[in-house]
Structure 1
């Protein structure tokens, strides 16, 4: 069935090998493993007198030399972080106490469960005894003020990504390693060490850095050689002649690369994967992204005259499988924000070259074929589009989109390149940008972007502004006049600006504390040697060695804030049909709804069961034949029965009035420009600050799946949203509120200032499969993307699926294990998502042309 469908859509069928490798991933039960934690702890214990960069080199050396070696059945590209498929190691040098607290619950928690065998827990418990007070998290916490910690505790922002884990959100120079190998990196370090001026005060730190590179990269070569040894061992006992030959070639590949430069396409694939694998081993970095895979891999495909296109495709497919083998665990709260075992390895194709020519090549199309073959959540596959993008490329991308996997995400060169230039990135580097993590653009292998540095809850700041700086009875923010004191919308904006400035200042403090902690306790030599110009400056990425340095916190709740402000403008200040005292009373009472109202209620809708019951009751008891009267009676029946989307009791009319207001997402300037202004207030406040590495803060607007989790921290809002309900995701309109079609919705989103949000914006659209059917559907899709980008939108991504399929998957998850959907800046298996995240995806507007 699947193979027939792909043939009809123009894709070839995956090989049996790829299907078997895929099933290993689908059938895996993620485990927590202990080997890395034990090895790292042993290395730290024996290096306490050394500088941080040399300690980190010794940690990498011990792990690369002693981590168990695993070659899975059928693999052509080898290198694994864990013994079990799709499992994770622990990095206690960043944080550890949350792991121990979840020994008994991680396997059963709501989001992203992991098995922790008793013997693993015992080994981790023993290793953890070393770490109290020694982690980067401990150091960062010690630097933070009480007020900053209070802001985090009250749901205004969180810096959990780097607070608890290793540094990621980077794209390294894969092409450099393909060309010169690890041996070339060592030679460069030796040369620079020899050239150092011992009279220069920086000599002390630089010689430590270069020595750390030499230690780390020699161990990395040994790691690859250990795989060569393993492949030779397996080949000696292999009875299948075909597999025996494969293992012998794998051994030969691992003996040669990545120590030396690649000479064949197979060696290039193996080199790329070893780099990716070892980066994860060094720090379990979040969102370590392969970047412009087609640009650095295509030269090796073109030069390899002995390889068939079919086998080259199978190798690319194997890399796709390996990217799905990478996994990581997070604390229970963070797991909800990153639901779906997300690792965010963003792989990008298309766009333009550094000198402004179209960059599309053969590997660009092979990557699309790999998506169709593998049909798994990773990588986060992206394409770049500009005015010179061939129609064929965009149509092919549309064919991939309508497979329903949520990829590719589509990025606009015409916005991103000038946005990066505006931050000081050179034109050639801006043209050569890649995407890392969810949606974050960066000048590849020259940037430490510290992207995804925090989740900032704009809707929470709105709530605090409505209450004069208070959260409940606590004066968390500055004292400003509450909503009942405002006589105009300008009064609101003055208060909102004051609160925003206060909370962004504390966000910056938190981020900089974490930044300092990583520089002092966990510089990363393996990573740093592949980011320009660490080798030239003699400094690690964490100490400011990159050419471009940024910190990028991201916001969410923009549409909720814009719609709320517009509702106040319309009903309180313009029409004067509602006074602030009554609005405040309705908000304080949560419109009469119970706390934690259902998703349906949160979206202004009753559940299907409630609607059917109310309609039956009205039809049996009512004598009216007027549809308007019958509709009102249904609303009253729902209210009387409790638990509805229309509100209850005396606040019903207020909530319904607010819910009737025009909303962001329908191409209405009066509404859209308010959302734009609210987002700009956040972005402009963020960009006032600098970080410890000498770079600028830059804002992004994207949520991962935090719009669901952190919606629980936000009280009722003037847009009619009840307390604790999910917020809008990214720059997308609120769920179900973009009712005038996909073009109108896209036009609204394009009115936001995407140029200032240079850390990335995220826009989700959801289409019925019928909307993209046939050649007409492909052309409509391409036209929508071109139009949105002409209006200066930055990014868009698509779910192509109908509501009933998602509901069926909730009821019978085992039958839908391979159903992949777009969550936010990533895709995930639908059935592994927490139900509240599933419900959020189901509630998004289904568009059609």
Structure 2
């Protein structure tokens, strides 16, 4: 589990909604085909979109909550949760002492990477009041996104974005602080709403496996991602393959986010090569890494210690690897029982060698 909870005292619908922050960016860009004159205009428009859809999300979640109350009361569970018996109320009616509803914000890494591309690569704004040479105009980028990077010269532009624009997960303030700003904004918007059980909505950032279907709901994005490709796994993890400066740099990027605001929990996925953690020296490295994670104030981290070759062989020959357990994003599973898409996700995650 990833979510923060108080056993026996809380009825927290911790995953009542998965909120697609990247889709909010897509909707904002679609609503302004002419582009934006400044990054400030883009930022304000995106904030308006997020605020609007968080409000719609809260209404939808309340509808679901009321349906649970009317059609799926849980008397046995209610007997085991503090205050339900004293109040004479089922947990679905707000009988528990604490009654939050958790909403996961998905896509922080993709949003940050996309915004730095738009600010630096299209608007020519270096984020410090200076000017840099843009990579493309609004018209050029919008055209490439609409074609899913398939037109003449689009792949060159995509590769330039992938290789020249800074990426979240590499300890680069310019992009990491964009992620911080919008994760904070999302969290504060979520906290504004009270649910029908008398509790508040709580922001979180872990994906379970929703980064795959939520990615499928999005077209191509300015970070170089293809249409319908998965979003970054975990919740706070970098986008697959873009954390190029080692696991410590990823820790530093995550530490710049306001992790305390993610009161419903958050998650960083890390994959290590088994050779990196072999023997006493490897164990010492892992201990140091976990200590750094703790000191940086990050809520939750989870590991896969498995090499790409083993995962690929398990995908091709599942009968040889029936007992291979992997961590997905908030839960563990037998690798051979996962969908092909999730298997590919885990295979393609950056394999750190320390």
Is the aligned partner of 1:753 residue 2:262?
A: no
1:842 Cα deviation after fit: 0.5
Q: Which residue of the partner structure matches residue 720 of structure 1? A: 224
Listed one character per residue, the Cα deviations across residues 611-667 of structure 1 (whole Å, up to 9, x for unaligned) are: xxxxxxxxxxxxxxxxxxxxxxxxxxxxxxxxxxxxx62212321221121100011
Instruction: Pick the aligned partner of 2:46 from 482, 493, 496.
Output: 496
Distance 1:789 1:740 in 2: 20
Distance 2:334 2:222 in 1: 34
Q: Which residue of the partner structure matches residue 83 of structure 2? A: 533
Distance 1:698 1:551 in 2: 6
- Partners of 1:519 and 1:543 within 8 A in 2: yes
Distance 2:353 2:302 in 1: 15
Aligned to 1:658, the other structure's residue is in SS state: helix
Distance 1:708 1:524 in 2: 31
Superposed, 1:109-188 pairs within 5 Å as none
Instruction: Pick the aligned partner of 1:681 from 185, 196, 210.
Output: 185
Q: Which residue of the partner structure matches residue 551 of structure 1? A: 101
Q: Which residue of the partner structure matches residue 332 of structure 2? A: 827
Is the aligned partner of 1:447 residue 2:10?
A: yes
- Partners of 1:557 and 1:727 within 8 A in 2: yes
Distance 1:572 1:522 in 2: 51
Distance 2:209 2:66 in 1: 27
Distance 2:113 2:30 in 1: 18
1:745 Cα deviation after fit: 0.7
Q: For the structure 1 residues 771 and 483, does the alpha-carbon distance in structure 2 shift closer, same or farther, using more than 3 Å as the test?
A: farther
Distance 1:444 1:753 in 2: 25
Find the structure with the greater CA-based Rg: 1
Q: Which residue of the partner structure matches residue 65 of structure 2? A: 515
Distance 2:100 2:175 in 1: 32
- Partners of 2:166 and 2:174 within 8 A in 1: no
Distance 2:296 2:254 in 1: 9
- Partners of 1:484 and 1:584 within 8 A in 2: no
Deviates more, 1:458-467 or 1:650-659: 650-659
Listed one character per residue, the Cα deviations across residues 79-137 of structure 1 (whole Å, up to 9, x for unaligned) are: xxxxxxxxxxxxxxxxxxxxxxxxxxxxxxxxxxxxxxxxxxxxxxxxxxxxxxxxxxx
Instruction: Pick the aligned partner of 2:283 from 766, 778, 794.
Output: 778
Listed one character per residue, the Cα deviations across residues 248-303 of structure 1 (whole Å, up to 9, x for unaligned) are: xxxxxxxxxxxxxxxxxxxxxxxxxxxxxxxxxxxxxxxxxxxxxxxxxxxxxxxx
Q: Which residue of the partner structure matches residue 487 of structure 1? A: 37
Q: Which residue of the partner structure matches residue 39 of structure 1? A: none
Distance 1:533 1:440 in 2: 22
Q: Which residue of the partner structure matches residue 346 of structure 2? A: 841
- Partners of 1:461 and 1:496 within 8 A in 2: yes
Q: Which residue of the partner structure matches residue 160 of structure 2? A: 657
1:731 Cα deviation after fit: 0.7
Q: Which residue of the partner structure matches residue 21 of structure 2? A: 458
1:483 Cα deviation after fit: 5.2
Distance 1:483 1:449 in 2: 40
The structure with higher relative contact order (CA 8 Å, sep 6+) is 2
Aligned to 1:792, the other structure's residue is in SS state: coil
- Partners of 1:483 and 1:492 within 8 A in 2: no
1:465 Cα deviation after fit: 0.9
1:453 Cα deviation after fit: 0.5
Distance 1:531 1:515 in 2: 18
Aligned to 1:794, the other structure's residue is in SS state: coil
Listed one character per residue, the Cα deviations across residues 508-536 of structure 1 (whole Å, up to 9, x for unaligned) are: 11110111122223221110111111122
Distance 2:35 2:271 in 1: 41
Superposed, 1:98-117 pairs within 5 Å as none
Q: Which residue of the partner structure matches residue 585 of structure 1? A: 143
- Partners of 2:232 and 2:240 within 8 A in 1: yes
| Corresponding pairs, count | 344
- Partners of 1:691 and 1:697 within 8 A in 2: yes
Is the aligned partner of 1:704 residue 2:267?
A: no
Distance 1:746 1:568 in 2: 25
| TM-score, normalization by structure 2 | 0.95
Instruction: Pick the aligned partner of 2:300 from 795, 806, 819.
Output: 795
Residue ranges of structure 1 left out of the alignment (5+ in a row): 1-437, 469-481, 593-647
- Partners of 2:92 and 2:197 within 8 A in 1: yes
Superposed, 1:372-411 pairs within 5 Å as none
Distance 1:656 1:521 in 2: 51
Aligned to 1:443, the other structure's residue is in SS state: coil
Deviates more, 1:683-692 or 1:568-577: 568-577
Distance 2:87 2:3 in 1: 25
Residue ranges of structure 2 left out of the alignment (5+ in a row): 126-131
Distance 2:199 2:305 in 1: 39
Listed one character per residue, the Cα deviations across residues 437-461 of structure 1 (whole Å, up to 9, x for unaligned) are: x310112211111110111111111
Aligned to 2:92, the other structure's residue is in SS state: helix
| TM-score, normalization by structure 1 | 0.40
Aligned to 2:231, the other structure's residue is in SS state: coil
Distance 2:306 2:231 in 1: 22
Superposed, 1:572-651 pairs within 5 Å as 572-573=122-123, 574=125, 575-577=132-134, 578-592=136-150, 649-651=152-154
1:817 Cα deviation after fit: 0.7
Instruction: Pick the aligned partner of 1:505 from 41, 55, 69.
Output: 55
1:490 Cα deviation after fit: 0.8
Higher helix proportion: 1
Q: Which residue of the partner structure matches residue 806 of structure 1? A: 311
Listed one character per residue, the Cα deviations across residues 190-244 of structure 1 (whole Å, up to 9, x for unaligned) are: xxxxxxxxxxxxxxxxxxxxxxxxxxxxxxxxxxxxxxxxxxxxxxxxxxxxxxx
